[in-house]
Amino acid sequence: MANSHLVGVRIETFDDAQKQFYEARNDGFAFIGIDLFPVLQLCPQSPHDVAEMLPLVRSDSIYPKKGMLYLILRCLGDSICGAIVGFTSKWIDCDSTDPRISSISQLCLQKELSWAVHLALPAVEVSIRHDNNVKLARVLTAFIKSEMAPFKIWISVPMYVGGDNASHTCGRDASSPWHWWCQLVGLAGPAACESLGLLLEMPADLPEEGIVSRWLSEPVTCLALSTQLFITNSKGFPILSRAHQHVLRKFLKINAQVLIKGSSQHERGLSIYRQYISWLWKCTVEAESLYEKYSIGFEDQLQEPLQPLQDNLSSATYGVFEMDPYKYRAYEEAICLALVHRCTSRKEGESRQSPLLELDYKGDCDVKQVIYILGAGQGPFVDASLQASRRSGCPVRVYIIEKNSNALLTLKHRMQTDWLGEDVHLVPGDMRCLSAPPPEKADIFVSELLGSFGDNELSPECLDDDGISIPASYTSYVAPLQSLRIHIDVSRCMDNPKFQERIHRHSETPYVIRLSNCQILAAPEEAFTFKHPRKDIGTTTNSRYCCLTFVPREDAIVHGFAGYFEAVLYDKIMLSIHPQRHSPNMFSWFPMVFPLVSAVPVKAGQKIVLHLWRCISPRYVWYEWATTEPTVSKIHNSGGSAYKIGL
């Protein structure tokens, strides 16, 4: 969520407009919605009207009312023109079945858009009201392409069409407002869509959950709230019903602004509504989870997955990760439990070992347990190991294996300070090929090579040793994802000359993304599992393939697949970013996204079939993915051509 929130107001009458305008400013509204062409607010009703209007429109002799023009220019003079959203005329219907209305609508819309460009407005509202918006899409797209999109176009659309005259399932029909919007988006294409946002109209009767939530994956720039939606509380103040609050807060979380429409039902005027929304926003911010707080500013940003094997991480990167309140505690628990298990099995003197510990047991409790820390970074696992040793009463000897020469400097320093007197040893080098390995074998290996997709930081390639491994196993999960924003961002490089050298890279690269403005279309399914130590080295490889089927409950557009992981560190100690059982407050991993180059529309109940490969060559590991249902996609990242992880 952003750290400030904007509430605007719609001015619909023009009696004493200037006064209203200043009132709105004084009431603290951040922006104001006004009609661009008030003179044309009357819809042409008859062929006669059209015949009368057409020459006026063609000849450029039609202009907005003088007073309004003055008001707007005055505002420009006040240098707050950036706070005006221009509303195009309501009667405009480019796709009217009456060809005369359609024709004059297209002409007038172009004229109003040009006027808005001239006024340098930051945003213009255009409404869609029915299921066919092909001609509107053409006018808008051509305008965006030719004018280099100087402003955002707010497409105003009802959240759903239902209520008294239609059934509540209406929103699910192929003709729901969401489908209207999807047609417009499809016709505009990802490049032009960057200039489009939604002005979503909150209805009095709320639709079912599914109808609301699919809007959460769309770029809802603003939510329109009529003053009619508000109820009066016991103290006489206008408030929203619990249900409306609940929906509004969901949209506030994806940074939707709010526009108040209609006349005030309260003596203190419209400012009381603004104050209420601001208060709701503050409550929403305060109720944020630690995960949400730590990821502020990262929402829906495409990040390239880290490659700690190939690249050295910076100290800042280490620092951020080490702040995670859950992860290091979980590791400490796991090490502690592993130590206890080993000591217990010794103390009981049983020859039958615990099923969790199918290892040779070398000594007794006085013999120190040997722990290898594989990739120690700045040493948090050393702390965790020493702490676990103290808690369990099992003595340990710790070998730190680290290849990052910068991190080694920090570790050396800590050897002489924090760990002075402890049985801690530093082994510089790559864990896969140590020139001078530690003099004794490990009882426990501790590593943190887990990526957002589990195996994507090449843990399977690094951990082939025999011993207790922490993590003991990890499984990746995949789910189909709808997010126009991610689709636009992934497609961006395709249209931007600056990014052309990286073409087909960006669009076929897996990204790490803090998912917010999106919708998961079906429950995640298991993809790949790796276990350590491996019992079958030599007969199986680390290459994997899975074919997963998903069935979305609603019509949807698949823009890619979200990837998660779940790891068993040891015994019952888990790390998980699976959305249904996420480790509390753990922010070290955001989900992975495997984008699709082309958006794939899918109907409710239709199958989505994903093929996902983990591929291996002597020097690289990479993923490839493709769909075969509902349509056949190309194989993404074929041969690792766009993205591969260096060994």
List, by residue number, the catalytic residues: 448, 457
Instruction: Look at residues 374, 330, 371, 388 and name the one whose alpha carbon lies nearest to residue 589.
Output: 330
Residue type, 487: H
List the alpha helices (DSSP H) in 13-133: 17-26, 47-58, 66-77, 99-118
The least CB distance from residue 206 to a copy of itself, in Å, is: 28
* Strands, sheet with 608-616, edge to edge from the N-terminal-most edge strand: 544-550, 608-616, 620-629, 645-646
431 has binding-site annotation: yes
Extract long-range pairs of 429-432: CB within 8 Å, 24+ residues apart. 429/401, 429/402, 429/403, 430/403, 431/372, 431/374, 431/375, 431/401, 431/403, 431/462, 432/461, 432/462
**Residue 607 interacts with a copy of itself (CB under 8 A): yes or no:** no
List the one residue from 73, 243, 434, 632 that touches a copy of itself (CB under 8 A).
632
CB of 598 to a copy of itself, least distance (A): 6
Residue number with CB closer to a copy of itself (103 or 245): 103
Q: Where does 78-159 show beta strands of DSSP type E?
A: 84-87, 123-127, 152-158
Helices 327-347, 380-392: inter-axial angle, 10-degree rounding = 40
Question: x/- string (CB under 8 A) for a copy of itself, residues 543-562?
Answer: --x-x---------------
Site string for a copy of itself, 180-199 (x = CB under 8 A): --xx--xxxxx-x-------
Q: What is the b/e burial string over 427-460, where b = at least 16 CB atoms within 10 angstroms of the residue's CB?
A: bbeebeeeeeebeeebbbbbbbbbbbbbbbbbbb
Taking the C-alpha atoms of residue 414 and residue 322, their distance in angstroms, rounded to an integer, is: 15
CB 575, min distance to a copy of itself, A: 30
- Smallest separation (angstroms) from a copy of itself to the CB of 462: 22
The dihedral sign for the CA sequence 117, 120, 122, 124: negative
For a copy of itself, the closer CB: 267 or 501: 501
Helical H segments across 375-433, by residue range:
380-392, 405-416
Question: 260 by DSSP, 3-state: which?
Answer: strand
- Taking the complex as a whole, the smallest distance from the CB of residue 196 to a copy of itself amounts, in Å, to 13
Please state the closest distance from residue 97 (CB atom) to a copy of itself, in A: 12
366 is in an annotated binding site: no
For 132, other C-beta atoms within 10 Å of its C-beta total: 15
Site string (486-525) toward a copy of itself, x via CB under 8 A: --------xx-x--xx-xx---------------------
CA-based R_g, the chain, Å: 30
Distance of CA 151 to the CA centre of its chain: 24
Per CB under 8 A, the list member of 169, 312, 580, 641 interacting with a copy of itself is: 641
Cis preceding-peptide flag for 595 (omega within 30 of 0): no
Nearer to a copy of itself, 639 or 646 (CB): 639
> By CB under 8 A, is residue 529 in contact with a copy of itself?
no
302 in contact with a copy of itself (CB under 8 A)? no
In the chain the first and final C-alpha atoms are separated, in Å, by 37
Which of 289-297, 563-571, 572-580, 628-636 is the region at the interface with a copy of itself (rule: CB under 8 A)?
Answer: 628-636
Q: Measured from the CB of residue 186, what is the shortest distance to a copy of itself in angstroms? A: 3
Query: Is 56 a residue that touches a copy of itself (CB under 8 A)?
Result: no
Q: Where are the alpha helices (DSSP H) in 305-420?
A: 315-322, 327-347, 380-392, 405-416
- Contact with a copy of itself (CB under 8 A): which of 59, 146, 405, 416? 146
601 binds a copy of itself (CB under 8 A): yes
Residues 6+ apart with CB under 8 A from 440: 370, 397
Distance CA 95, CA 126 (A): 13
**Contact code string over 112-141 relative to a copy of itself, x by CB under 8 A:** ----------------------xx-xx--x
Q: Is 47 in the site for a copy of itself (CB under 8 A)?
A: no
Angle between helix 99-118 and helix 134-147 axes, rounded to 10 deg:
30
Q: CB-wise, 69 or 626, nearer to a copy of itself?
A: 626
Name which of 333 and 508 has its Cβ closer to a copy of itself.
Answer: 508
Kindly state the number of chain residues that form the binding site for a copy of itself, as judged by CB under 8 A.
43
Q: Which of 188, 521 has the CB closer to a copy of itself?
A: 188
Asked if residue 634 binds a copy of itself (CB under 8 A), the reply is yes
Euclidean distance between CA atoms 407 and 619, whole angstroms: 24
Q: What angle do CA 523, 524, 529 make, to 5 degrees?
A: 155
Give min distance, CB of 188 to a copy of itself, in A.
7
User: Which residue number, 141 or 271, has a Cβ lying nearer to a copy of itself?
Assistant: 141
Mask of contacts with a copy of itself, 401-430, x by CB under 8 A? ------------------------------
Interacting residues with a copy of itself (CB under 8 A): 134-135, 137-138, 141-143, 145-146, 182-183, 186-190, 192, 494-495, 497, 500-501, 503-504, 545, 547, 598, 601, 611, 613, 615, 624, 626, 628, 631-635, 638-641
Residue ranges of the annotated binding site for S-adenosyl-L-methionine are 318, 327-328, 402, 430-431
